[in-house]
């Protein structure tokens, strides 16, 4: 991927993250069963580096320049979760460092929608990373996935 040149570990391929991670740990079910275990054995070892430890590379800058030249016709959609691509970007899998509250186990709500955030914060629900969420944005206007919760990098 584009961010490999910035030092970010690739997800796919022979040395990619997903070739070494046990898939059972990368699930919502594993998170719900034991959030602390999920963070300590899956999330932090693989995504615990703050995105600020990496810098955009010339490829990121080139895409941003192309988008500036053709703002009405060029839309950048990335699967990267590192936040290195700036500008008008659709982050298909979310962004490392952004979190959302999820309902408790006794709730019948199990949604990744942004509309639940305010309600769930008041309920004191647990936090789940917003990265690796499989939902494209409906609009191309801006990266609006701001979560509002504290980042693990702070």
Q: Which residues are catalytic?
A: 93
Q: For residues 83 and 26, give the distance between their C-alpha atoms in angstroms, rounded to a whole number.
A: 20
Total length of the chain: 154
Give the CA dihedral 88, 144, 110, 24, nearest 10 degrees. 50
69 Cβ contact partners less than 8 Å away, ≥ 6 residues apart: none
Does residue 67 contact residue 88 with C-beta atoms inside 8 Å? yes
Q: How far apart (Å, rounded) are the C-alpha atoms in residues 80 and 95? A: 8
Question: Which residues make beta-bridge pairs with 76?
Answer: 89
For residue 21, the 8-state DSSP code is: S
Q: Which of 110, 107, 97 is nearest to 147 (CA)?
A: 97
């Amino acid at each position: 991927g584009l961010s490999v040149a910035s030092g970010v570990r690739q997800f796919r391929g022979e040395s990619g993250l997903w070739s070494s991670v046990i898939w059972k740990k990368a699930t919502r079910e594993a998170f719900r069963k034991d959030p602390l275990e999920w963070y300590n054995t899956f999330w932090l070892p693989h995504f615990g580096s703050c995105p600020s430890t990496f810098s955009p590379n010339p490829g990121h800058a080139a895409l941003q320049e192309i988008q500036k030249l053709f703002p009405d016709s060029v839309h950048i959609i990335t699967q990267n979760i590192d936040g290195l691509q700036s500008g008008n970007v659709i982050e298909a899998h979310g962004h490392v460092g952004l979190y959302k509250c999820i309902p408790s186990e006794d709730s019948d709500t199990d949604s990744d929608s942004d509309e639940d955030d305010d309600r769930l914060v008041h309920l004191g629900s647990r936090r789940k990373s917003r990265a690796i969420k499989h939902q494209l944005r409906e609009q191309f206007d801006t990266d609006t996935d701001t979560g509002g919760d504290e980042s693990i990098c702070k």
